[in-house]
Structure 1
Amino acid sequence: REKGQLICRASGTPKPTINWAMNGIPIENSPEDPNRKVEGDTIIFEEVQTGSSAVYQCNASNEYGYLLSNAFVNVLSETPRVLTPANKVYQVIRNNHALLDCSSFGSPIPKITWFKDSQSSTLEGDPYLLHENGTLEIYVAQALNSGKYICVARNTLGIAENHVYLEVKEPTRILKQPKYKVAQRNRNVVFECKVKHDPTLIPIMIWLKDNGELPDDERFLVDSDSLTITDVTENDAGTYTCIMNTSLDHDSASAELTVVEQPDPPTDLELTDMKPRSVQLTWIPGDEHNSPIHKFVIQYTDSLHDHGHWHNLTHVPGSKTTAHLQLSPYVHYTFRVLALNAVGLSDPSNPSHMYKTNPAAPEENPSGVKGFGTEHDNLMILWKPMSGLQANGPGLQYKVMWRQKDVDKNWTSVTVANVSKFMVSGTPTFTPYEVKVQAINNNGIGPDPAVVTGHSGEDLPVQAPDIVQVLVLNSTLAEVNWEPVPPKTVRGHLKGYKVYYWRERSLHKHNPHRVEQQLLTFSGNKSHGMLPGLQPYSLYLFNVRVYNGKGEGPASSNLQFETPEGVPGRPSFLRITNSNLDSLTLEWGPPNDRNGHLTGYTLKYQPVNNSNDLGPMEELALPANKTSITLPNLKYSTRYKFYFNAKTGQGAGPVITEEAVTIMDEGKCFTHTALASKTGPSLCSPLKDSPPLYGCLLLLLCSVHPAAPAFGNVSSSMGEDGMLISWEYWGAEKHVYVEYIVKNDNKEWQKEYVNGSQAYVLKGLKEGLSYRVRVVAKGHDNQAVLHQSEEVLVTVPAMPSRQVDIATQGWFIGLMCAIALLILILLIICFIKRNKGGKYPVKEKEDAHTDPEFQPMKEDDCTFGEYSDTEDHKPLKGSRTPSNGTVHRDSSDDSLVDYGGGDGQFNEDGSFIGQYSGKSSIRETAGGHERSEAPSPVNTTTMNSFV
């Protein structure tokens, strides 16, 4: 049903005539076909049918000749076929276009339609584009486009479909690109290249250097997301690119590495423009090594005064290559230059030629001049010595000058050399002096030196502070005032005042102890000071002294003051000594630091439940002379928290706390029958207002424990490490012990300290013995037992001895195997010996000379004769010796004479012939008599083994 044309173009002169033929018959004579139309040189086919298949000839002719051309028109009829492989998987990166192929064949040409997943609508329009060849294109693929696609090819003859799959992958992206690096030589560099890719794709990281492969060098370490270069060299500089490849896409990023180092040293130092006190220095800079030079440092050495030691002279910016140097007199200069960049200093350049300057008078004087005394009658003048460079010439000396300030007008002087100090003796104590030091050399004197004021030596102060007073501010603070001493009596630099004070005693009779002396220093010319941290209700003594650089002066007279009452310290202890059903007894001790007269105590307490919530607070005021109290009407089996402190007239002191538990006890009741007795005291007493009772009186006696039990059940169990003892304990005492003793033993109880636990393992108990065990709680003195558990009797089982099963021991099994092997070897040897002689007729000859009723057999199965007959099959067991008691000798002892009486005889070849014919033998076995017929005469051919 398709259209088609056959065209036959021909040219010639005159113009050729076109004639058509079909299958060799002119087309006009061929069967008429309504779907075929001839128009000159063209045949037009409309909706061809299968019958339209034929060979068409085109004949182009004119008067000069003709040309023929054949064409075969084949009209196909084929159902559709999809040529694209089934279940093909297409993978594309998100945001890229996807092409899904659907190559088909059929006649008529199939029409292609596409479907996705289970959708019934065809895929048309954005984002899909269907090409004429059946390919489906998705402009911008997204994750939602992933899935199964169905390609359907159909024509009038049938339909065919194919399934393909599209997977849209996430693109590969470099999240953290490598950054530009500047590294010093011999350092390490790390380029990071963190990549995100689709997890279903396998990534491959590749690093390039300058668009080529990395050098084959172990210094280049490639990791999953980084490149590390160790011990960087200048050759490592360049551009590094990380490329992340997957099977679908890739991404890349680059960064540059610049390797820097210290610059090379300058070269070609040259001195020009040389003058007496200056010179021009020039040089050529070295390689900067990728880091600009910031400055040049010029150094010098003085071979005259300090040879070999280089000193910085000056520096110039890195853009300059010359420096104008100012020089000192009397120096032999040698210069060198260093370059500095961001990495550091270069190596020094080669030194320049030496340049010498002429000597001159000093241009400066010694520095650091000062005067002070080391003793009360001297003055030490000290200065910093000048260097050879500062001396400006040979013959350096120092002129030391001094005079008493405001007293002397003229200077006293002395000239010294090679020293840095001078002592002036015989000076008055702590007197101001003016001093100065001047430099001198062979070329002249230095400038006029500066004047420095110093003092001669100090001595101890001679006067104590006067008019000393004290003002008590509160129970812990006092202020001390004094009149400063006259400056002349200080006899030195006034450093300040010192106050010595100490607690002489407490004003309370219970605290008479004395505290060591304390010191407070007040620097400068002070006239008062504060004494903090005093003990309340105490007597203090103190004195004041002035001090200078030499030491302290005399002390003022001791004065005393009393501190008022303060709040007391913490009570020395608080403990619960008795725990009853509904009451608790508390004991306490007064504070060690009462700090006044105690006016009483305050006790507060409140219950605490299992969730540690606090109940209502109760408060009691207790007198000062009381040391214990019993709190009644408490709740049984309840924990209480106590707060306790002491009070003076100034207030309450700090609080101490304690906790205790009341525990319920049911008590024990029992009956007792009292019998009246005329001869002894009666348990029956007459009741009030009633006649006496004689006979039996039933009394109900109830025993109630004065204190609730602190211990509950005590249990024991035997473990690998020892006997485990566990118990319940509700007491407040912390000193708990486990005591044990061997049953029926009169020795002392042994005890083990528990340390707050409620279980303990007793180790070292002897096997098979019984022990009495109990748990006790002791008071704070570790002596009095306040609580004790019930005793339990524990027995340490005797461990059964380990029975060794000999059948499972390795040595026994080995021994048995060795014995079995030995027996096997013996049996093999016996078997070999028994078969040693073969089938010789001599054995039958032996048997013929014996009583046929008694065939001799060796008692030992293994001692067969040399000619034992293996064909007799005699049983080894139950054999008997002959009745006459004769035992045959070994076959090795027999001779041919023994066989002479028989019927047999020797042939010429020495064999026994004919002696076995017609013989029979009878042998007796353990089971009865067995009779066997002798064999027929043996064929000579079978007897070759006997020759």
Structure 2
Amino acid sequence: GNLPQPPTITKQSVKDYIVDPRDNIFIECEAKGNPVPIFSWTRNGKFFNVAKDPKVSMRRRSGTLVIDFHSGGRPEDYEGEYQCFARNDYGTALSSKIHLQEPVAPGRSPLWPKEKVDVIEVDEGAPLSLQCNPPPGLPSPVIFWMSSSMEPIHQDKRVSQGQNGDLYFSNVMLQDAQTDYSCNARFHFTHTIQQKNPYTLKVKTSKCHCDASGWVFPGITETTPSFMYPYGTSSSQMVLRGVDLLLECIASGVPAPDIMWYKKGGELPAGKTKLENFNKALRISNVSEEDSGEYFCLASNKMGSIRHTISVRVKAAPYWLDEPQNLILAPGEDGRLVCRANGNPKPAIQWLVNGEPIEGSPPNPSREVAGDTIVFRDTQIGSSAVYQCNASNEHGYLLANAFVSVLDVPPRILAPRNQLIRVIQNNRTRLDCPFFGSPIPTLRWFKNGQGNTLDGGNYKAHENGSLEMNMARKEDQGIYTCVATNILGKAEAQVRLEVKDPTRIVRGPEDQVVKRGSMPRLHCRVKHDPTLKLTVTWLKDDAPLYMGNRMKKEDDGLTIYGVAERDQGDYTCVASTELDKDLAKAYLTVLERPDRPRDLELTDLAERSVRLTWIPGDDNNSPITDYIVQFEEDRFQPGMWHNHSRYPGSVNSAILSLSPYVNYQFRVIAVNDVGSSLPSVPSERYQTNGARPEINPTGVQGAGTQKNNMEITWTPLNATQAYGPNLRYIVRWRRRDPRGSWYNETVKAPRHVVWNTPIYVPYEIKVQAENDFGRAPEPDTFIGYSGEDYPKAAPTDVRIRVLNSTAIALTWTRVHLDTIQGQLKEYRVSTTPKSHRFPGDRNRGIVSRLFPYSNYKLEMVVTNGRGDGPRSEVKEFPTPEGVPSSPRYLRIRQPNLETINLEWDHPEHPNGVLTGYNLRYQAFNGTKTGRTLVENFSPNQTKFTLQRTDPISRYRFFLRARTQVGDGEAIVEESPALLNEAYTKNHVDIATQGWFIGLMCAIALLVLILLIVCFIKRSRGGKYPVRDNKDEHLNPEDKNVEDGSFDYSDEDNKPLPNSQTSLDGTIKQQESDDSLVDYGEGGEGQFNEDGSFIGQYTVKKDKEETEGNESSEATSPVNAIYSLA
């Protein structure tokens, strides 16, 4: 707000500022205060006039200096010590002194002298140090040694670089002279490298050793260790607190010594020591006073050991123990500023006020300086100031600003009014109420504007105004009020607390092992506070998951379509609201077909075997179970691969058996539970030598394709069975007679035809393989037959015995075998439209699945492999009546709640003369059923009306047709469900309504007029026979009647409105069952006394009678004679 405040430094540059010469200089100084502070600078203790130098500017509303070199100028002109002052009406604050330095760049500092370094001669085994002495720089340059060919010098425990940049050889060896040595310095800001003139070594050796055999070889005298750095047996080192201490011991000797480190009287500092440079250096990081003491290094080889002691003293620049803090006092209040620092040596404390030594400031009776403390008593308005405390010793200084502001201010709440804090249940929470006032107000908290002050138990009030709750519960929700009070007044603010349910994943993803291409689903079902917005995200391997086409995120999970190997990994479901989050993780393992085997190699090459070795591919998380070895040969089937052998997945080498005269090439396929790998890259080829065949063809057969030949066929040898070039087959045959002569023919194709053979005689057949190396062993003999001819005789004495309405028993006299002229296959019985087969040589059988109440014609033939023989004498027989099939349909209509109308059609297959119908029905309601009732009807009745006794129940109907043999198959239907009972009770029958009766009368009159018009048109159109109501038979001599056709005028051939004409010209039924005409073959119309059509009509051919007990033409045995097709 508008409260007065002395200046406070908020940002400043580091004390040691090394300038980057490639960029502008920015010396930072930022401060706050009220009024806004004004900035000024001193350089080297004197006022620095920024306005006089055009290259220097100060940022607006800031004290930061910008020195611009883009238009020229040298950074070294601005080196010095800078200090920033920030002033306003209530005091002056100071920055630390900022030491601005330019790095000693190669352009300004002397280079290595262009000296000519003589060749350095050194004895083999002697120690050597090559000095670097790099040019100075800020910061110090990085030193490294290289050869003149820019190869790094190899370093080890014998040859290494010291901290001073020199290169030390514990002992020189002959190979050290094979290169030269150059020291290089890389400077930080300029990124330039300077190279010193290289050293060249000449290693002298004069000693040699001769062994008993006379061989001469050089030798080196072994020596005890000696220190090259530091010299002597002891040294000392001083280090400042807080920096890294580096102790170093480099020793010479043959062989190169090992270095070990110890601390006198104790262990090396734990957790902060590190050995470097092949144990030659000991680094102790962040040194403290406890690290003082004596350290020693022990250098040893097999010739002896020495040690060097380093006394370490830790000094300290000043560091804060108690830094002074800003002080706000009310008029008349007391206070103090405390400035305590430590260091080695102990720092001196100096106080300043507004940048001037406190001793030279005007006297202030309310202020008393007592060493590191200033005490204020009974302060008054107007005594505000900024005090500086400077703690310094020979190693550095600390400067701190702290203002004393004397104010008279009533309480103020600094937080926004009516805050809303939302917290997750059972979490720790804090309600903030920052306040200000002078004197310092007291702050109290209340809940819902009443009750005692909240402090204690689940609540803890802090001095800064915060109210902390260890565990937020649902009952802690409400409005909290903080009240700040001092002698000048009070202020208050309200904070509303809402406690939310935590977000929890109640079913997270589980580890899964899935096959490639499958569709895994990762669950993530979340429960959260409904008033918070939930966001569910998925991570894969801790990175956001890309949702492509294959990833589908749903409310309770993630589905991966066509999972691939790249989908394997950790999946994390993250459910988050603005207040909290929960996560669950699972690992998805994808099983894939194995990678192909590789690097096939053939070894152990032999005449009939070879060893094949391969390197398995990755099993892709599913162990390899098998290896399939395949081969290809380039003579018989080039490019065609064949399976050779199969081996367990645990092997990667196998001895393969080979066949002669095959140019092999192998490949390997790996198999796991997911599938087979791609084939490996084929091996090199391997050619085996030829040999005579060892096996003959299999599957030798002889059979005629015509009546005067015999075709001999066999399964030819494959590429691995041929064993040599020019594979051929020697075919031998003779009639099955030991005295017969053998005939032979040599062929290459796997077949040979013998002509001019007698009809169906047996032959002995042999097929032998042969190649240019010789013949296979003597082959086996097979029996074949020459071609067959048609049988010459028919079965005789065929006798029929009727078993029932659908089956007969047959007997006949067999055909003599001499007339078969081949191999007898079967006797076949033909009864239109079916035939019945009786395999083998037999003289009896049963013919079933005949139609009842029909006349049949029957004849027989005998067959062989060539075909049918002559037909037997035709026999005729009738089948007796049977039970009828079910009625074609049973339709149920419920015009009202009291009646049910049934309507049905005759059976499609009456199988005799219909004698009537049997109807059984029962009421049911749910699982309850009533008793079964029975009705019998005459054969011409096709309607029945049932008076309901229960308007709620449904009915189940079983309707059967009947002949004198018995009842046929039932058709079963159920009445549809009615409306519920409550509606039924209140139902009004529409048929009793006056408006409905009038509408129906009008429709009936219109239909009657249309019928009259239709009949007049028919009487004009053409001639057709009309049957009266007694259903007289049509004249069978009338051709038009026989084929079911009638003559009409062209106009009558047009379909009626809203009808559909079928392909045969009939008019199909529409939804209404009361269409005027249905045309059918042999169908008959029926008229009521009023002349209207009744009944249901179909386009099927009716075979049953339609009135009385007389049968129709279709069911008469006279018209049911089936003749042989």
- Length-normalised TM-score, structure 1: 0.49
Which entry has the higher C-alpha Rg, 1 or 2?
A: 1
- Length-normalised TM-score, structure 2: 0.43
